Amino acid sequence: MTDDKIAVALRGITKRFPGVIANDSVDLELREGEIHTLLGENGAGKSTLMNVLTGIYRPDAGSISVFGRTVQLKTPKDAIDLGIGMVHQSFKLVPTHTVTENIVLGLGRGFSRVKLDEAQARVATLSKQYGVKVDPNALVWQLSIGEQQRVEILKILFRGAKILLLDEPTAVLTPQESEELFHTLRSMREQGHSIVFISHKLDEVMTISDRITVLRGGKNVGTVLVQDTNPQDLSHLMVGREIKFATFPKKESRGEQVLEVEGVDALNTRGLPALKGVTFSVAAGEILGLAGVAGNGQQELAQVITGLQRPTAGTVRVQGADMRGKRARHFIDAGVSYVPADRHGVATVGDMSLSHNSVLRRYREPKFGKGPLLNFNAAIGYARRLIKEFNISTPGHATPVRSLSGGNLQKVILAREMTTRHHLLVVMSATRGLDVGATEFVRKTLNDHRHQGGSIVLISEDLEELLSLSDRIAVIFHGEIMGIVDAETARIESLGLMMAGQRLSEVA
């Protein structure tokens, strides 16, 4: 075998963690000038493999060669020196510094004014060369998520990387931003760069890739050319079974109004207006989807209707009761369940056991204790029930939830929020980062819930998900509702226009 055109060759990479084999003798070849997608469910070993390639983990077995030379990657610095750079899901930028400053930060040379000017010129060149649109002088906190991601890419190019690893780069982007990213990636490919692209979204994968490698259970289960495959085959490879993307049947009859939001204004954490005159309602047996590009007030809206944040104007009624001046616990008592977007940071306590987490929002209920006392045995029994009903894979109820996979953690949260006798379920980014199997489970659970008469506010950036689940879809832009449309008749194009700031009246 010749290594002429091979940028990176991983051979027999094995990495074990206590109790788990994350990578089991994985082979992977990355050719020069190709976009190579790494596909796999959560926990399939994608991140581990990339961490091996960037020098963060050292493999227990196997060899790595870069441009034909066998190398030892002991630190991330080694990888950078070899021209390997990675864009992580969470960015590592200093918000108060400019784009250029962030790019040169950590290069180890002091940045005097002159050098900074040089650097700026180079950043400008690079950004033109690869079509990465970003102002080198802008302060990072002023940038959108998409722009920040471009800074991360420029940072890697600035360091002379020939091999780029992108970990789910589109998860945080709008469809338009994703298009621009793909444009950049293609331009890099043409200039000889090699790119490893990690994603769950099969349509994207089909659009951008040259070749696709699928990992399952830490093993390479196949590398294919994009023209030789299709989404069905890929999902089959990933999960080892067929997954059907179906539009869920809607419920015929709806009940009375469960949530009524009227003229609500709210501020964001920086004290700026985040919601302006938001009005909508949700009936029993209905899923209302809330579409919008991230950062347009979804977070604030979720907090307002779950009592975690007080509106500065307007009213929120749950089951007809005015919730003015009420705290989160009153909302919980009134039957509002909430699945937040941030599973680790908000929805769970990582160091606490599954059973403790299963009563996180329910510990005040009489069934979990008497008076001031908490009955932990009842919590354990309840946790056991959830594990069984929701098919949560965990060593046991005493396991700290920190060690659960993303999908299982989401199941714990969903299970807890849905088994409460509640009237309204607010769900935010319910399937983000979940693998195909877990995503399907979550969607099915939400759908079943609707059919049992539950009402759901489904906040998501995934239009496909919204269209397949919702009865109606509201679109939010800059804190205002642009319009509410019937999911059955909604067109993706008009939703996209509304997400970009046009009102329903203007697009219809």
Does the protein bind other proteins through residue 384 (CB under 8 A)?
A: no
Q: How many Å apart are CA 317 and CA 260, to the nearest integer?
A: 5
Asked whether the beta carbons of 200 and 47 are under 8 A apart, the reply is no
Beta-carbon contacts of residue 319 (< 8 Å; ≥ 6 apart): 258, 334, 335, 423
Per-residue binding letters, 334-353, with other proteins (x by CB under 8 A): ----x-x-x--xxxxxxxx-
For other proteins, the binding residue among 5, 133, 324, 327 (CB under 8 A) is 327
Comparison of 246 and 346: residue with beta carbon closer to other proteins: 346
Instruction: Identify which of 307, 295, 374 has the alpha carbon closest to the alpha carbon of residue 334.
Output: 307
Angle between helices 406-419 and 376-389 in degrees, nearest 10: 110
Instruction: Identify which of 200, 196, 223, 211 has the alpha carbon closest to the alpha carbon of residue 52.
Output: 196
Comparison of 203 and 342: residue with beta carbon closer to other proteins: 342
Site for other proteins in 276-315 (CB under 8 A): 307-308
How buried is residue 386: exposed, middle or buried, by Cβ count under 10 Å (0-12/13-18/19+)? buried
Does the protein bind other proteins through residue 477 (CB under 8 A)?
A: no
What's the order of all strands across the beta sheet hosting 257-267? 273-283, 257-267, 313-318, 321-322
The total number of residues written for the chain in this structure: 508
As measured in angstroms, the least distance from the Cβ of 444 to other proteins is: 25
As measured in angstroms, the least distance from the Cβ of 18 to other proteins is: 5
Does the protein bind other proteins through residue 366 (CB under 8 A)?
A: no
Per-residue binding letters, 393-422, with other proteins (x by CB under 8 A): ----------x-------------------
As measured in angstroms, the least distance from the Cβ of 373 to other proteins is: 6
3-state class (DSSP) for residue 498:
helix
Comparison of 36 and 356: residue with beta carbon closer to other proteins: 356
Per-residue binding letters, 100-119, with other proteins (x by CB under 8 A): --------x-----------
Does the protein bind other proteins through residue 324 (CB under 8 A)?
A: no
For other proteins, the binding residue among 12, 61, 70, 77 (CB under 8 A) is 77
Q: Are strands 321-322 and 313-318 parallel, antiparallel or unpaired?
A: antiparallel
Identify which range of 43-51, 158-166, 226-234, 313-321 contacts other proteins by CB under 8 A: 43-51
3-state class (DSSP) for residue 240:
coil
Identify which range of 69-77, 179-187, 230-238, 291-299 contacts other proteins by CB under 8 A: 69-77
For other proteins, the binding residue among 11, 16, 88, 276 (CB under 8 A) is 88
Does the protein bind other proteins through residue 376 (CB under 8 A)?
A: yes
For other proteins, the binding residue among 5, 115, 364, 451 (CB under 8 A) is 364
Q: How many Å apart are CA 231 and CA 256, to the nearest integer?
A: 41
Beta-carbon contacts of residue 17 (< 8 Å; ≥ 6 apart): none
Does the protein bind other proteins through residue 75 (CB under 8 A)?
A: yes
Does the protein bind other proteins through residue 363 (CB under 8 A)?
A: yes
Site for other proteins in 234-273 (CB under 8 A): none
| Long-range CB contacts (within 8 A, 24+) of 503-507 | 504/475, 507/483
Asked whether the beta carbons of 405 and 392 are under 8 A apart, the reply is no
Site for other proteins in 133-162 (CB under 8 A): none
For other proteins, the binding residue among 7, 64, 301, 332 (CB under 8 A) is 332
Q: How many Å apart are CA 348 and CA 402, to the nearest integer?
A: 9
Binding positions for other proteins, rule: CB under 8 A? 17-18, 22, 47-48, 51, 54, 56-57, 74-77, 88, 90, 92, 108, 307-308, 327-332, 338, 340, 342, 345-352, 356, 359-361, 363-364, 369, 372-374, 376, 403
